[in-house]
Structure 1
Amino acid sequence: MPINVPNSLTIARIVMIPVFMLFFFLPFKWAAPASALIFGLAAITDWLDGYLARRLGQHSNFGAFLDPVADKLMVIAALVLLVQYDGRALVAIPAVVIIGREIAISALREWMSELGERASIAVNWTGKVKTTAQMVALLLMLWRHDIGWIPTYQLGLLALYVSAGLTLWSMLQYLRAAWPAMREGDY
């Protein structure tokens, strides 16, 4: 396991998950914004670790494995917290769509790797836009307090639906890219 700057940032992102979860449950008015800020800092490390890996030439197989795992853990933890906080179907439905897609695409990537076709379903720009939309939505929803006249939670919920739509779109793109191998695969 190479410990370099990008991998250290990815590990830090994983370590921040229980921290933002702890702040989420604290009984203080400042706890929700603090939780959101920690989540936001973790989201920034997602961009920064990839940038630094490219810039410093510090790519590693470990980093390629751990980075998407850290992203999925972070997003799923935030979604579970938000569904627990606001148990309406309005929140639960996009959460299930996002979590379900993450599980399905992870399984697809694993299967495509076994077929030697992993490169055919590499991350594309739609996946990056989807991740950005998710991070913005979750940040706004975790904040849970209006900023002046701006209803951050409602804006975050709207962005969550946008990200759920992008989630489905990117899943369809991955399935379309994998379709030739799926059609010809040994079942």
Structure 2
Amino acid sequence: MWTIPNIITLLRMLLIPVFVVVYYLDWQWAHQAGAFIFWLAAITDWFDGYLARRLKQSTAFGAFLDPVADKLIVAAALLMITHTYNSVWVTVPAILLLAREIYVSALREWMGQQGRSDTVKVSFVGKAKTMAQMLALIGLLSELEVFMGIPIYWVSLGYGLLYIAAVLSTWSMVTYTVAAWGDLTGKAKAG
């Protein structure tokens, strides 16, 4: 259980309250520091998966804990940007992304109980959604449009990527549902 990848995943979970507290500090660069912590957590997500494969330290505990850690920090970030921006243009895609995470997690759990988890395994579209979502959240959390006098338009990019993530999220949710439809309706067993 105490493999290097699992320890990194646990550290990522411990970063969640740190991320939230830092983001809401009464300090000029609090949002940028919070965005950096979120970025650090996102990097550890890639890193723990890489190490699990490279060191052959994949465990059932890690397979369970990794997506939980990801969903917790993403849910926190989505809630935080809806509060920060207080706009329907951020809230609607954030709710869609959060609803999709809950729906797909439940679908995967149910399909796993049916012994059909391969039917709804992570797809390329799901990975693209995650990448767009993470970059969007970093941009929106940071609230940076200019860095050291140089226009970088992170917030504008964040808005665009949030909508791309929402579209990919809907697409992947529909794809997973279609793949599982026979099992969900009972027609897979009958056929």
TM-score range, shorter chain: over 0.9
Aligned partners of 1:9 and 1:133: how far apart in 2?
23
Aligned partners of 2:111 and 2:171: how far apart in 1?
19
Q: Secondary structure of the residue that 2:166 maps to in structure 1? A: helix
Contact preservation (8 Å) 2:111, 2:180: yes
Matches within 5 A, 1:28-39: 28-39=27-38
Q: Which runs of 4+ in 1 moved over 3 A?
A: none
**Per-residue displacement from partner, 1:52-80 (whole Å, max 9, x unpaired)?**
11111011111111111111111110010
Amino acid aligned to 1:13:
R
Shift of 1:183: 2.5
- Structure 2: state its 5+ residue gaps: none
Aligned partners of 1:23 and 1:151: how far apart in 2?
23
**Residue aligning to 2:117:** 118
Shift of 1:23: 1.2
Does 2:159 match 1:157? yes
**Residue aligning to 2:19:** 20
Aligned partners of 1:33 and 1:156: how far apart in 2?
14
Shift of 1:81: 0.6
Does 2:137 match 1:138? yes
**Residue aligning to 2:7:** 8
Number of residue pairs matched? 185
Shift of 1:154: 1.9
Amino acid aligned to 1:117:
R
Identity, % of aligned positions? 46
Amino acid aligned to 2:170:
L
**Residue aligning to 1:170:** 172
Amino acid aligned to 1:179:
W
Give the TM-score taking structure 2 as reference length: 0.93
- Structure 1: state its 5+ residue gaps: none
Shift of 1:136: 0.4
Shift of 1:146: 1.7
Give the TM-score taking structure 1 as reference length: 0.95
Aligned partners of 1:175 and 1:181: how far apart in 2?
10
Aligned-CA RMSD value: 1.3
Aligned partners of 1:55 and 1:180: how far apart in 2?
36
Aligned partners of 1:5 and 1:116: how far apart in 2?
29
**Residue aligning to 1:52:** 51
Shift of 1:50: 0.7
Aligned partners of 1:84 and 1:121: how far apart in 2?
32
Amino acid aligned to 1:108:
L
Q: Secondary structure of the residue that 2:151 maps to in structure 1? A: coil
Structure 1 residues 107-116 or 52-61, which shifts more? 107-116
**Residue aligning to 1:179:** 181
Contact preservation (8 Å) 2:144, 2:152: no
Amino acid aligned to 1:50:
G
Amino acid aligned to 1:53:
A
**Residue aligning to 1:69:** 68
